[in-house]
A and B are shown apart, each in its own frame.
Chain A
Amino acid sequence: MILFLRTLLGVGAGLGAGLGVAAYVGESPWKVFKILMGSSFGDAYSLGTTLLYAVPLLLTGMSVAIPFRAGLFNIGAEGQLTIGAISAASVAILLPDLSPFFAVTVAIFAGALGGGLWGGFVGWLKATRGSHEVITSIMMNFIAAALASYVVLYWIKDPTSAAAESLTIASAYQVAPWSIFEGASMGLALPICLAVAFVLHFALERSVFGFRLKAVGENENAAQYHGISRERVWIESMALAGALAGLVALPEVLGNAYKFKLGFSPGYGFVGIAVALVARGKIVHILWSALLFAVLQKGAASLDLETEKLNRDIVYWIQALIILGVSAEVLWSRIFEWRRARSRRKAQAPT
């Protein structure tokens, strides 16, 4: 709880500093804040589009947080979600004649499976070859991008389009947006991803699987001594991470674009790292942290339009300052320690 408050403090400090910058260049911070909030939550449509950012960030945030439990740093969520999306799109295009319910289920699984294999491979490399997951998962991002552009350009390209995008998926695969969002492409993906987060929360905190992850992350040696295979945990956690990233296919491909567009992700996989960091790897906190980053992402365009002296870059300032504020938590506690020590020394009677 205290940790959570400190995190909020960090977020607040980052946000405050960002608004301070806005004030410095001559925009009212209050106005900036209002624009950010209004463009994100002002009406049902804005809320829907904010969620369209938040849901993928929720998935990639968890994709980073889960291996982190086991002591692994997954930088490959971007590649995993690309593979997940291209898998789901390919399946949808190759098997156009399924019934709607079955079709969507198959496509979701295809996305999760594609991402899962992509992530699991990183874990497997670490387990069998000792390759560091940071290096391999970064490299797998590039391979994923190249593979996706090959598939989209040579196998499932929409011949009528000038852009690098696939054919439109069959209507059975298209997940319709909910009308309450007044036209924003957000629907079934929201409850499904929330349910996934819910299940994962309990899996991490209350299941033997979660325990094994934690044991390897906390003390690899002791875990192994007590019969837990760290290799298995590495592969499992990375595969799960990849599957979560691959699920981004649901809101993006099946629920929004209805096709695979090359470069559709505005860096969800990387922002997911920040989301997980701010949430300190706890799934409950990833919920709001994903929303926070979605608000910033969403508000960026509005700031461009609605202010004169600011452009979207201010949002990256704020993001960076929030991350700094949260990670400076260690620094803050040091400062507190130091001040306490100093006052103690002052209180000492000279001998």
Chain B
Amino acid sequence: MESLKERALGGGGSTHNPVVVSAVELKGITKRFGAFTANKDISLKVAPGSLHALVGENGAGKSTLMNVLFGLYEPDEGEIFIDGKLVQFRSPSEAISAGIGMVHQHFMLAEQMTALDNVIVGAEPTKWGCVVVSRSAARTKLNSLAEEFEIPFQDWDRLVCELTVGERQRLEILKLLFREAKVFILDEPSAVLTPQETERLFVNLTKLKERGKSILLISHKLKEVLEHSNEITVIRRGELIASVPTQESDEEKLAELMVGRKVELKDLGHRAMFANTDRAPAIRVKGVSGASQGEGYQDVSFTVMPGEILGLAGIQGNGTSAVFRALASPLRSAKTGQGSIEMLGQDTSRADFFELHRIGVGVVPEDRHLEGLMLRQSLVENHFLGQQNDRRYRSGPWIQRFALSRSVDKGIESFDIRPSYSNAVLGRMSGGNQQKAMLARAMDHKPKILLIAQPTRGVDIGAIERIRKAILAARNEGSAIVLLSTELDELITLSDRMLVFFRGQVVQEFPKNAFDEWKIGKAMGGSKA
């Protein structure tokens, strides 16, 4: 690691390559917010026609650095060179005119405007002396760009809200090409994509590279970074830890650089599965159909044994979330037909949350902000949510604050929630700590069944490790676990068995020994492997 650091520092500025001028060079960038230093003396170079990946935990300062480059923040110290020329951006529009473009994690598109208008807004080609917007000129230019960079896109007249996530992303990239960007900054572009769409994204990015564009990619996903980048820069707590050529690195080394200690993401102490054959399943779902929040599912059946993790895989909108809700919040998801849901021998198809809690079911909802937490309230208040009928925390109409906060303290300790005091307000915590708080709550009453959705969405690597370990530990103690995740990687790592959903139906079941990312991805796309 020391050698990596030396290499990174040694590469900063003094040994200037006389032949190739860097497309982007950051020199000693420091950015402070009050007393907090978000970026400390960061220097890096991006060669033209290369893909430079920026990795680091949440809050490490990657986004700040990119926002400095994009002109959203002015650096307190340091210089930016574009094509060897010193520049100073006071606003994103200045960065854009210098050829820098950014695709944000949450796309900056107006849903109720057409794809074409979204691209040209702010850079409208005009005719008749700057009076009338010339959409046809824009269309011609865009079509030739799409052809040149092999990014197929035809639906210029469709509204953005009708486009798929993948299409929106391509639209964002075309938007930058239309503005003649030379440097592309992409913030977590694959977070919302399926493996197939991700693959396609990187095909597009490769084409951009081949035609001389430079790409800066922020990502959590070390695998794709290792596969597609030319150089990787690791940032930790605002400092540049290392810049390494991709071929000299591997996943384990990167994770270690990011977190600052050894991390196990894959081999989390799997052990042989329970000999389940003689035990009754903890969850038995038989022929259930229904719909919830516009997402339907038909004739779904499965069982989960104690000590088993069943993964639910599927592209968003194909039924996984609705099935999860039918299990975790039965009263709020309409079911039709004859099907039945049994947990621990009890019919739970009409159970309310307290009933589930009583028979020993713990739930981690899918959307922590919408369904999981009260963000303006403390850990104590949030810990009580869903446990209002728990005898430990209640006597008559009164809350047993003492018992409650003692239990919160225990959760803080065993899940390493930070800040580590029970009155900490959830809204000021990082996503990882919010997620840990939900997990601590769900596991508080030692449930025999755990229903867990998106346990690590938007969570940094250190927290991911802890959360995954906790899930596996619960499984090893004999809990039956249903796991819903959009991260296929996570499902593959954790599940013992996987069900793949497409258009509301289970299209394929994969046992552990048949897990294959590509095959599962295909099944998610609707074709049987």
Q: Which of A's residues lie within 8 Å of B, judged by CB?
A: 203, 206-209, 211-212, 214-215, 218-219, 221-228, 344, 348-349, 351
- Complex contact A225–B401 (CB within 8 A): no
Cβ-neighbour of A207 out of B79, B329, B398 (below 8 A):
B398
- Complex contact B398–A222 (CB within 8 A): no
Docked Cα-Cα span, A219 to B353, in Å, equals: 16
Docked Cα-Cα span, A207 to B397, in Å, equals: 6
The minimal Cβ–Cβ distance linking A57 to chain B, given in whole angstroms, is 28
Q: Which of B's residues lie within 8 Å of A, judged by CB?
A: 34, 74-79, 88, 328-329, 332, 352-354, 357, 365, 370-377, 381, 384-386, 388, 394, 397-399, 401
Cβ-neighbour of A351 out of B78, B328, B357, B401 (below 8 A):
B78
Docked Cα-Cα span, A211 to B353, in Å, equals: 16
Residues of chain A within 8 A (CB-CB) of B388 are 208, 211-212, 227-228
- Complex contact A221–B398 (CB within 8 A): no
- Complex contact A219–B386 (CB within 8 A): no
Docked Cα-Cα span, A344 to B397, in Å, equals: 50
Docked Cα-Cα span, A209 to B370, in Å, equals: 22
Q: In chain A, what residue has the closest Cβ to B79?
A: A351
- Complex contact A211–B399 (CB within 8 A): yes
Asked whether A208 and B371 contact (CB < 8 A) given A214-B381, A218-B377, the answer is no
Docked Cα-Cα span, A207 to B401, in Å, equals: 10
- Complex contact A219–B78 (CB within 8 A): no
- Complex contact A222–B353 (CB within 8 A): no
Given contact pairs A214-B374, A227-B386, A349-B77, a sample of 17 additional A-B residue pairs in the complex whose CB atoms are under 8 Å apart: A203-B397, A208-B398, A211-B399, A214-B381, A215-B385, A219-B373, A219-B374, A221-B371, A222-B372, A222-B374, A223-B385, A225-B365, A225-B371, A225-B372, A226-B385, A227-B353, A351-B79
- Complex contact A225–B353 (CB within 8 A): yes
Cβ-neighbour of A227 out of B75, B352, B372, B401 (below 8 A):
B352
The minimal Cβ–Cβ distance linking B435 to chain A, given in whole angstroms, is 14
- Complex contact B353–A208 (CB within 8 A): no
- Complex contact B386–A218 (CB within 8 A): no
Cβ-neighbour of B77 out of A212, A218, A226, A351 (below 8 A):
A351
Q: In chain A, what residue has the closest Cβ to B400?
A: A206
Asked whether A351 and B88 contact (CB < 8 A) given A225-B365, A227-B354, the answer is yes
Q: In chain B, what residue has the closest Cβ to A212?
A: B388
- Complex contact B371–A218 (CB within 8 A): no
Residues of chain B within 8 A (CB-CB) of A211 are 381, 384, 388, 399
- Complex contact A209–B329 (CB within 8 A): no
Asked whether A222 and B371 contact (CB < 8 A) given A207-B397, A209-B397, A227-B353, the answer is yes
Docked Cα-Cα span, A25 to B10, in Å, equals: 74
Residues of chain A within 8 A (CB-CB) of B34 are 344
- Complex contact B401–A206 (CB within 8 A): yes
Residues of chain B within 8 A (CB-CB) of A212 are 388
20 residue pairs bridging A and B, Cβ less than 8 Å apart: A203-B397, A207-B397, A207-B398, A208-B394, A208-B397, A211-B399, A214-B374, A218-B374, A221-B370, A222-B385, A223-B385, A225-B372, A226-B385, A226-B386, A227-B352, A227-B386, A227-B388, A228-B388, A348-B76, A349-B77
Residues of chain B within 8 A (CB-CB) of A351 are 74-75, 77-79, 88
Residues of chain A within 8 A (CB-CB) of B365 are 222, 225
Residues of chain A within 8 A (CB-CB) of B372 are 222, 225
Residues of chain B within 8 A (CB-CB) of A221 are 370-371
The minimal Cβ–Cβ distance linking B451 to chain A, given in whole angstroms, is 12
The minimal Cβ–Cβ distance linking A229 to chain B, given in whole angstroms, is 9
Residues of chain B within 8 A (CB-CB) of A203 are 397
Docked Cα-Cα span, A221 to B329, in Å, equals: 12
Q: In chain A, what residue has the closest Cβ to B353?
A: A227
- Complex contact B374–A215 (CB within 8 A): yes
The minimal Cβ–Cβ distance linking A106 to chain B, given in whole angstroms, is 26
Docked Cα-Cα span, A223 to B332, in Å, equals: 12
- Complex contact B370–A222 (CB within 8 A): yes
Residues of chain A within 8 A (CB-CB) of B88 are 351
The minimal Cβ–Cβ distance linking B362 to chain A, given in whole angstroms, is 12
